[in-house]
Structure 1
Amino acid sequence: MIKASICMRLAGAIVLSGAYSAAGAFDITGKYCDTPSRCINPTTTQGMVTTSNYLATQAGLQILRDGGNAIDAAIAAAATLAVVYPQMTTIGGDNFWLIYNAKTGEMRALNASGRSGEKATIDFYKQKGLSKIPARGYLAANTVPGVVSGWDEAYRYGQKSMGSKVKWPQLLDSAIGYAENGFAVTPSLEKWSNINVNPADQEFRNLQRFDGFKHTYLKPDGSIYHVGEVLKQPELAGTLRTIASDGAKAFYQGAIAKKIVDELQQNGGLLTMKDFSSHKADWVTPLKVNYRDTVAYNLPPNTQGMASLEILNVLNNFDVKKLGEGTADYYHLIIEATKEAFADRDKYLTDPAFNKIPLDYLLSREHGVDQAKRIQMAHAATSVQPLDPKGDTIWLGVVDKDGNAVSLIQSVYHDFGSGIVPKGTGVLLQNRGSFFSLDKNHVNHLEPGKRTFHTLNPAMLTKNGKPLLVYGTMGGEGQPQTQAAIVTRIVDFGMSPQDAINGPRWLHGRTWGAASNDLKVEGRVPSAVTDELKKRGHPINVVDDYTDTMGHAGAIWIDPASKVRYGATDPRGDGLAAGY
């Protein structure tokens, strides 16, 4: 039997952890549910936090209790995740924000992704005999980490426009404490640590070859930490303490940047002090499309938020509810809509400062209609070409007592990023820049000062101008697909957020490092459905019932009438949704 939900009370908050199974589950009262729909979500009339790690959720919740706003809580949770969830996120990565301001009714979007270094050129890599940028190592760390700049810019906005009783240093207290005193290793951290010390894979694994990784994340004898053992990161604690006292400038202009740059350059890396000092996060205009009677928001390029919204734009042309949730038609339609969206994404997506992207056309009702017309319900498309214009990661969500809402996604790209942790910093650097192409004709080819294609895209649904659903997930190409599953299950089928996330998921495409595309489907999908999908031409690959290949999703649904917040977290990770 699949693990059932576990009821617990934590810091005065009712929380729900784990998952239901097809056979049943336990609700938050400890009562057994014979059907998933009877299981209750964590609810509150005040603040709600959901993240992919229970310690991070508690950190965010404490900030809300202390009088902080949704942005403050998101920073505290994200900082804690950067310590206790290094396989998915660190302060050496990037983040993107969607922020709803309850006072002004404004939706803001913040792009805190880093740009490639001034010396990062195609010729640099070609002269080393490389046909692609290495996935790991010093040459993979070629973009400036944007995380801290995102925290800083969002915090300043929140202080000015939302008000808060909490100051900057307090937001990092939890993260500093776990880095200094240690935390108990989770199943996810043990799993990904074990995967990444495989000596047989010199391209993507064997990260112990890098001294910083070995010193930071492995025991003195070189073995991994197991579940329940305590991992301490004193160098990271020192870095976070400096950021807490001196602000973001300490990371980009001070001793921290110098230590990072010195080690990179001593080992043939590219980033310079100028790259760090010139970095800044940017406020951008969020993208939106209508879906039924709601409005879906997401981030513009260089994220794939356009693809997430295109899928919904295509689905608008079908009666999804009539198809039935969990049927072969349901899966087939969303997969085919995903192919249409990905064709556009792969053709256009890069840094919009370097290439013009026809967003108005791509998100237009007319384009969605044209894409929908190409979908054949009886057959899977084997090759989808974009229509010419007629013109690894964490997600977290917060809604505070005043109705301010944050959807935040933060990542180091591959699990454990580049594998590089410069001495004396504890900062694991991302390898996001390895996604740049060395083909000058590719839309996402490497150039100095350029932001690469990002899979990260936090999402939010509004109704009548107010947040209805704060949602998102990690998982690369799976993000737009999981977002579509969550939205259709809640909006079209009336499912609870937890049921929508718990439900069987799929992944069309390839996960990083995979050699070919296929359609991964969780084993809980009935065989009759997978057999029908095979008949329609889908290359089915049945995977574990609750595999984290599908990502770690989360959601907060706000009842329009009562304003009660319903939180949900993913049984595929170590997450927790909690309110007070």
Structure 2
Amino acid sequence: MKDQLETYPYASKRTAPAGMKGMVTTSQPLASQAGLDMLKKGGNAIDAAIATAACLTVVEPCSNGIGGDAFALVWTKHSLYGLNASGPAPNSLSAEEVKKQGHKKMPERGFLPVTIPGAPSAWVSLSERFGRLPFHELLEPAISYAREGFPLSPVTARNWRRAIQHLQSTLSGEEYEFLFETFAPDGTIPAAGEIWKSEAFAETLEQIASSKGEAFYQGRLAEQIDAFSRKYGGFLRKEDLARYTPEWVTPVSVPYKGYDIWEIPPNGQGMVALMALNLLKTTTFFEKEQTETYHQQIEAMKLAFADGEKYITDPRDMSVKTEELLSETYAANRREHIGPEAMVPEAGEPQHSGTVYLAAADGEGNMVSFIQSNFYNFGSGLLVPETGVLLQNRGNSFSLDPQHANFLQPNKKTYHTIIPGFITKEDQPIGPLGVMGFYMQPQGHVQVGMNMIDFHLNPQSALDAPRWQWMGGKTVRLERSVPPHIVEGLTRKGHDIEISADSNEMGRGQVIWRDPDSHVLYGGTEPRTDGSTAVW
């Protein structure tokens, strides 16, 4: 790893921070430091991840919150564990009810797309199973920043302003006033460097900390959420919260050129990244900044997304098995559809048989890949009064078409965009990786993973490298830093090329890479956000 910067001519000049005792890398410096502080107090990587995740709900509330969902991959005790803390639709919500209210598709904001929040349950479950420090200590940094305030970092401030301005122009109704009162107090949206705080947020976190989450799912907070939902015609009830539990799941993987790449199984879209890598693993790539490299990656990603859109949903309702989608036979069949020209993809037929990401590691070999989200920036736009709990709008991904895999039904989980990734080699942990950003996430996993494995970039260089995003059909959006000969080459192959005006839409990622011989931890954090790697 230490020599990888010199082995590739297009590598960035930034080196990957290295450490031995611990590392936390995420999109916000205060959150990274909160996690590292837990390591220095005697906690492990799981404690660090929980503290960082809780802190992120305060210092980057436009992207995630207490009322969102979470997923985690945890390497500990010589094994990889998966946690799915995504919530289903409320028991009383159905497609028929949505249509009755005059909608032809799921709305983006308001109560209809609100699903049961899973994030607090993820923190508690991780702590109870693998944590070392008392749970209430892990939330202390988040509580402190909520109560005493913190200065907004630049990218967070920009995203905050854009989102609030958009919502101010599109949302009307008394139920949304609590959002604007909290995140644009006295009508003023805080700018970079300005202090923001919320006593209500601090008190909510204290209740979660002292009750180990019970207050949120069965106590006072559950009552407040229920009352708010009932008052404004929502469907989420305290009974929905009371019966919710996160699920420990078996991670899924594909072998890729000497490594194994791991993701959470459906309902997450990590399968899309795995299906694309399964198509690409038989090809030898000689250069990253080569037209054929981009073309092959894009075409593989199209096919994977087509299959993901058709089949991925709540695993109880999937028409095919994950092992069928990831089989060598199916990959060989789908690989034949990649030709020299850009295509518009269609799903195959296998044979039956807005978000924050963080990575944490400690000196004992424990590692965590963790992601949580409100879905859109500021989620549903609904903030439960006097709590700071911003409800997510994950239900926007449901379909009202009875023939669609993600047809809305009570208590059903929908296709989920947030995905944590993990890399192992010969049953040893290499480390966590993740890239936030809606449907950019599996595309980011493929590109960043290949940057390290195929092109030998260190984690920081792998994140710094130019990215692309398939937007649908033959349209591909490229960062401005993509070399001109790539733009010209892809155009000749029939791709409809757009140049991105905002690098933030290319995802925001973090990586930790553990050297299998020296056990040195190398980190990388996103140049497209306020990223920070805290090292010990």
Closer, same or farther: CA 201–346 of 1 in aligned 2, 3 Å: farther
Contact kept, 8 Å, 2:143 with 2:206, in 1: the verdict is yes
Separation in 1 of the partners of 2:231 and 2:105?
A: 22
Deviation at 1:503, TM superposition (A): 0.3
Instruction: Give the letter aligned to residue 315 of structure 1.
Output: L
Match of 1:70 in 2: 45
Deviation at 1:380, TM superposition (A): 0.6
Match of 1:123 among 89, 96, 104: 96
Matched, 1:571 2:516: no
**Can you list the C-alpha shifts for 1:147-203, whole angstroms capped at 9, x where unaligned?**
0011111111114xxxx2x21111000000010011101222322232224469855
Match of 1:347 among 298, 310, 320: 310
SS of match in other structure, 2:111: coil
Contact kept, 8 Å, 1:351 with 1:451, in 2: the verdict is yes
Deviation at 1:361, TM superposition (A): 1.3
Deviation at 1:140, TM superposition (A): 2.6
Contact kept, 8 Å, 1:395 with 1:554, in 2: the verdict is yes
Map 1:102-251; keep pairs closer than 5 Å: 103=77, 105-141=78-114, 143-159=115-131, 164=132, 166-198=133-165, 210-220=176-186, 222-251=187-216
Instruction: Give the letter aligned to residue 313 of structure 1.
Output: N
Matched, 1:56 2:56: no
Matched, 1:94 2:32: no
Deviation at 1:223, TM superposition (A): 2.2
Match of 1:258 among 223, 227, 232: 223
Match of 1:405 among 346, 355, 367: 367
**Can you list the C-alpha shifts for 1:183-239, whole angstroms capped at 9, x where unaligned?**
101222322232224469855x6799811111110021x121111110111111000
Separation in 2 of the partners of 1:443 and 1:107?
A: 29
Deviation at 1:569, TM superposition (A): 0.1
Separation in 2 of the partners of 1:200 and 1:563?
A: 47
Separation in 2 of the partners of 1:477 and 1:340?
A: 14
Give % identity: 38
Separation in 2 of the partners of 1:208 and 1:577?
A: 41
SS of match in other structure, 1:368: helix
Closer, same or farther: CA 209–543 of 1 in aligned 2, 3 Å: farther
Contact kept, 8 Å, 1:196 with 1:206, in 2: the verdict is no
Matched, 1:337 2:293: no
SS of match in other structure, 2:277: helix
Match of 1:275 in 2: 240
Contact kept, 8 Å, 2:207 with 2:213, in 1: the verdict is no
Of stretches 122-131 and 55-64 in structure 1, the one that deviates more from structure 2 is 122-131
Separation in 2 of the partners of 1:72 and 1:357?
A: 36
Map 1:18-57; keep pairs closer than 5 Å: 36=11, 39-57=14-32
Structure 2 segments unaligned to the other structure (5+ residues): none
Contact kept, 8 Å, 1:317 with 1:369, in 2: the verdict is no
Matched, 1:431 2:393: yes
Separation in 2 of the partners of 1:561 and 1:329?
A: 34
Separation in 1 of the partners of 2:228 and 2:378?
A: 18
Map 1:449-464; keep pairs closer than 5 Å: 449-464=411-426
Structure 1 consecutive aligned stretches of length 4 or more whose deviation exceeds 4 Å: 34-38, 199-203, 205-209
Greater helix share, structure number: 2
Match of 1:532 among 446, 471, 489: 489
Q: What TM-score do you get using the length of structure 2 for normalisation?
A: 0.95
RMSD of equivalent CA atoms: 1.9
SS of match in other structure, 2:309: helix
**Can you list the C-alpha shifts for 1:350-396, whole angstroms capped at 9, x where unaligned?**
101233432111111222222222111x2011233323425420111
Contact kept, 8 Å, 1:473 with 1:551, in 2: the verdict is yes
**Can you list the C-alpha shifts for 1:459-493, whole angstroms capped at 9, x where unaligned?**
11101211113100101111111111111111111
Structure 1 segments unaligned to the other structure (5+ residues): 1-19, 21-33, 511-515
Instruction: Give the letter aligned to residue 280 of structure 1.
Output: T
Closer, same or farther: CA 369–190 of 1 in aligned 2, 3 Å: same
Match of 2:338 among 336, 355, 375: 375
Deviation at 1:36, TM superposition (A): 4.3
Match of 1:555 in 2: 511
Deviation at 1:35, TM superposition (A): 7.7
- The number of aligned residues is 530
Match of 2:468 among 506, 524, 530: 506
